[in-house]
Amino acid sequence: MKPKYQPLFDTFSFRSGVQVKNRLVMAPMTTYSGNPDDTVSKGELTYYSRRAKGLGMVITACTYVTANGKGFPGEFAGDRDDMIPSLRELATTIQSQGAKAILQIFHAGRMSPPELVPNGETVSASAVAAEQAGAQTPRALTDAEVKDIVKAFGETTRRAIEAGYDGVELHGANGYLIHQFFSPHSNRREDHWGGSLEKRLNFPLAVVEEVKRVVAEHAKQPFLVGYRFSPEESETPGITMADTLVLTDALAGKGLDYLHVSLMDFWSTPRTVSAGSSETRLQLIMKQVNDRVPVIGVGSIHTPDEALKALETGVPLLALGRELIIEPEWVEKVAQGRESEIAVELSRNDQARLEIPDPLWNAIMHTPGWFPIAEKV
């Protein structure tokens, strides 16, 4: 390994006591590839095994905490105890390659496809449809139902502990239910769970508190809790950068192990930039948390030099997403001084070589602009 890349391979210890062997994380990415009975498929196990080698930790694709929270076809389940053996198989597969296994848990809320949830009924903070073609208007959850979903996040955390994971990540990003409760677009409530900015914080913080309570009760060894969020929304009204700085300030005081910013581009700047300011979203978030909680940066990092430049901003951990699909041996190639061999784009005949399950491969091929694809004959 070239000495300049050593900072990528320094160990890191979280508040909970979980230690990772380097600063490199596999970002959570949906595979659409679970079995029809909602268990983890052999194809997914092969996919994760191939990509976990060398990483400090792997954050899985999201699993849903209640039956009406399923967000994708082929999404594996975490909402009932008979899924623990399936979840365990995935954790063991990741850990067998030397990486820590983190289960991402979520509820899709109004983003659930109606055909995937009981009675075709989608739910959310309020009866407001997403701004996208064909979006169904969800039913607003009752106070009792909100409390039940908070408890469901705790129950899925217990299952993660029993399945042998090293932690959970709460998916509060990308327009799903936790995000919906924080957003002024999807949350028009006038009770404890919405209204003012402070009340829109109540559901995310209640989920954090319940999950941490369950960890304290059930975990017999270090078990981390992270939280992922999206810093801004395009909708009006929507989450602004100013809102997110309030959220991150609140989360930084909750004893979490990390905050994970969901970005397509590590260097992206806020939608509304103050005059004379050139700070990125990540820089503003880092300044707000002020070393109270570690931050994971992510977004269009492909080469080790790009990773090094990102790390030099002060962010302690870096997640690679699409790049690990393109180049499963990314970490090993950097460690072995073979960084010149790292692929940064796919070709259309790469599926078998990269062991990418059919549903994920089909999604990649049919979503223009998502992945860099070489148009080779």
Alpha helices (H) along the chain: 42-52, 84-95, 143-162, 177-182, 197-200, 202-218, 241-252, 281-289, 304-311, 322-326, 330-335, 351-354, 358-365
The torsion defined by the Cα of 152, 158, 164 and 169, in degrees rounded to 10, comes to: 50
3-state secondary structure of 283: helix
Between helix 42-52 and helix 84-95 the angle, nearest 10°, is 30
Alpha carbon distance 184, 271 (integer Å): 17
Q: Which residues contact 191 (CB under 8 A, 6 or more apart)?
A: 143, 199
Alpha carbon distance 244, 138 (integer Å): 24
Q: Single out the catalytic residue among 47, 48, 64, 176.
A: 176
Helix and strand tally (H, E) in the chain? 13, 14
Alpha carbon distance 216, 275 (integer Å): 46
Q: And the tokens for 299?
A: 């977004």
In this structure, the number of other CB atoms found within 10 A of the CB of residue 118 comes to 9
Q: And the tokens for 291?
A: 């070393």
**227 noted as active-site residue:** no
Query: DSSP string of 143-165?
Result: HHHHHHHHHHHHHHHHHHHHTT-
Helix, strand, coil shares of the chain, percent, nearest 5, are 40, 15, 45
Query: DSSP string of 47-104?
Result: HHHHHHTT-SEEEEEEEESSGGG--STTPPB-SSGGGHHHHHHHHHHHHTTT-EEEEE
Pairing of strands 19-20, 12-13: antiparallel
Catalytic residues: 176
